[in-house]
Amino acid sequence: MALSSTGTSSTISGTFLNSGRYVGSARSSRSALILRTRNDSGVRWLRRIGVGGAKLGYIAAKPIALVLRTINAFALGARKVNPKAEVHVIFTGDWTLPVREAESVNALAGAGCDVIACHIDSPKVVIENAEARGIKTCGHNTDQARLAPKGFITGAELKYITIYKSYSEKIVNGEKLPNLYEGGFDRDMVQNTAFGAGATDAARTAAMAATAEIKGGAPIFVGPLKDNKGKTVIEKTLGLYEPSLWGMDYLIEGVAGSVT
């Protein structure tokens, strides 16, 4: 997660665009805030650790860098558990298309996916429809466990309270807001949703161990890595805060889908 600011502020408001970006404005003529995730991909990687299955589904809005990064991290987590695992991706074309999202769940169910995750603004549709089909799910942005009492595993959440508390304290103390503030598990800025009934004991143990690794700085994108067309796209291991990750324009090996 990263927050950049062009000035000082007293009130923050804005609109969620997706789990990795929050665009808002401060009630001051000198300020504008942009909040984006640096380690949301870490949560997505972790939530696949220890969960069985060789065919997973992923419903996403658009093939932009942030979304591709989270899909690829999800796939790496899956293949860490099962090297033969495949993640089947469907891009709906926009952030909120309930009918298309429901159709995508049905398509992935028909393809034999046993777990479905998503990166859209309306995860409720995906979680509820997958639950109705008897498919396990991973949530997005907020806690959706109550929507899938039988199949919910965990989810990727941002801890906005951490950044809001930090910035409000600086404002109260008259301190200058930093131009860039980023972090992940190591700065308590992301978290996994509490495990649901769909998470096995093995999954919980493995995910907790992986969380500790990420908190310690363990990288997610360990090179060399190829895209799903066989081209080497990451030659060396990239750290959690590697700037080039924001330019990701490919799906890695193990992901069935296309960015075009």
Residue 243 has pLDDT above 80, yes or no: yes
User: Any idea what DSSP says for residue 120?
Assistant: S
CA dist 224 and 234 (Å) reads 5
Q: Distance from CA of residue 20 to its chain's centroid? A: 7
Output the domain CATH number for residue 50.
Answer: 3.40.50.2300
Mean pLDDT of 234-251: 94
pLDDT in tens, 14-67: 222 233 332 332 333 233 333 444 444 555 555 555 455 689 999 999 999 989
Q: What is the CA radius of gyration of the chain?
A: 18
Same domain, 197 and 83: yes
Is the omega angle on the peptide bond into residue 224 within 30 degrees of 0, that is, cis? yes
Same domain, 130 and 166: no
The pTM score is 0.82
Same domain, 131 and 66: yes
Same domain, 112 and 134: yes
The number of C-alpha atoms within 13 Å of 60 and in the hemisphere containing its C-beta is 26
Average pLDDT score, the chain: 82
Same domain, 137 and 216: yes
Where a domain ends, among 169, 187, 205?
Answer: 187
Sequence-separated (6 or more) residues with CB below 8 Å from residue 91: 60, 61, 62, 63, 257
**Lowest-confidence pick of 83-92, 125-134, 137-146, 203-212:** 203-212
Instruction: Please report the pLDDT score of residue 141 as a whole number.
Output: 87
Same domain, 104 and 223: yes
Instruction: Please report the pLDDT score of residue 151 as a whole number.
Output: 97
For residue 137, give its domain range: 40-157+191-256
Which residues lie across from 24 on neighbouring strands?
14, 33
Same domain, 24 and 47: no
User: Is residue 151 exposed (0-12), middle (13-18) or buried (19+ Cβ within 10 Å)?
Assistant: buried
Tokens of 204: 């919980």
User: Is residue 134 exposed (0-12), middle (13-18) or buried (19+ Cβ within 10 Å)?
Assistant: exposed
Same domain, 83 and 167: no
Mean pLDDT of 153-182: 90
Same domain, 164 and 76: no
Same domain, 121 and 178: no
Same domain, 55 and 131: yes
